[in-house]
Amino acid sequence: MTEHERGELIILPDPSVLAAEAAQRFIALAQAAVADHGRFTVALSGGSTPRALYERLAQSPLSESVDWATVHVFWGDERMVPPDDIESNYRIARETLLAHVPIPAANIYPVPTIGGTAEAAARAYEETLIAAFGSELPRFDLILLGLGPDGHTAALFPGQPEAVRPSAALAAAVHNAPKPPPVRITCTYRLINAAANVLFLVAGTDKALALREVLRGSVDVARLPAQGVRPEQGALVWLVDTAAAKEL
């Protein structure tokens, strides 16, 4: 995999500057998408790194730079917990962003994590995606992703089925995730790699070794699932801070 195929790498001094850069890119992509096709579809990432981005987008003046009535929000992965659970990616996004901007409730598509199995939730989410996009292979305007110290992204974990033998599904159930909670729903490579833009946000020294392996090491998607992110007709950008880049 060439350097180019691994995406554009942008190193920023610290997490705060990283969040500011990510916010500018979110806004620019939202404005361009709305100008081009009337709406902006984005899949949010979970974990702690995107929090600062969400908080920035929720604050004036940045919050006024987005026409939230045209924004449609999904999740790249979710933990199989109730939406008001502290571990819920939906809850983080609601508390840090969605509750503070005028986005219609109908434009928010949480993963249905209660009242069924993870497999049923994945199938239901797939149907939601297909219906919301009117396409069997939805093309997101933007997908936000993070990177785990083990090279995982979304809920695509090393050695797990979706990383070893990627399926044709758009969403998949995950069991025994090495990062708690163990049961999750993840978007698959098929969906991620159909996106127009994929933006990784990576901060902190604990990510440095994984980042070097993913960007500079030999290709082994089963061992380093983040390497499987290669938008077919889209842009791949890594926003990382100097701490995460220290091994590059």
Q: Which residues bind ligand 6PG (CB under 6 A)?
A: 45-49, 77, 89, 146-148, 152-154, 179
What CA–CA distance (Å, rounded) separates 140 from 166?
19
C-alpha torsion sign, points 138, 113, 54, 19: negative
CB of 90 to ligand 6PG, least distance (A): 11
CB of 89 to ligand 6PG, least distance (A): 5
Question: CA 74: distance to chain centroid?
Answer: 9
CB of 48 to ligand 6PG, least distance (A): 4
Q: How many other CB atoms sit within 10 Å of the CB of residue 135?
A: 11
Backbone angles phi, psi at 171, to 5 degrees: -140, 150
CB of 156 to ligand 6PG, least distance (A): 8
**Amino acid identity at 57:** L
Residue nearest to ligand 6PG (CB): 146
CB of 19 to ligand 6PG, least distance (A): 12
How long is the chain? 248
**Nearer of residues 116 and 182 to ligand 6PG, judged by Cβ:** 182
**Nearer of residues 33 and 80 to ligand 6PG, judged by Cβ:** 80
**Nearer of residues 29 and 174 to ligand 6PG, judged by Cβ:** 174
What SS3 state is found at 126?
helix
Strand partners, 12: 241
CB of 36 to ligand 6PG, least distance (A): 28
**Nearer of residues 70 and 89 to ligand 6PG, judged by Cβ:** 89
For Cα atoms 9, 12, 15, give the angle at the middle one, nearest 5 degrees: 120
**Nearer of residues 89 and 107 to ligand 6PG, judged by Cβ:** 89
**Nearer of residues 70 and 244 to ligand 6PG, judged by Cβ:** 244
Q: What is the 3-state secondary structure (H, E, C) of 131-175?
A: HHHCCCCCCCCEEEECCCCCCCECCECCCCHHHHCCCCCCEEEEC
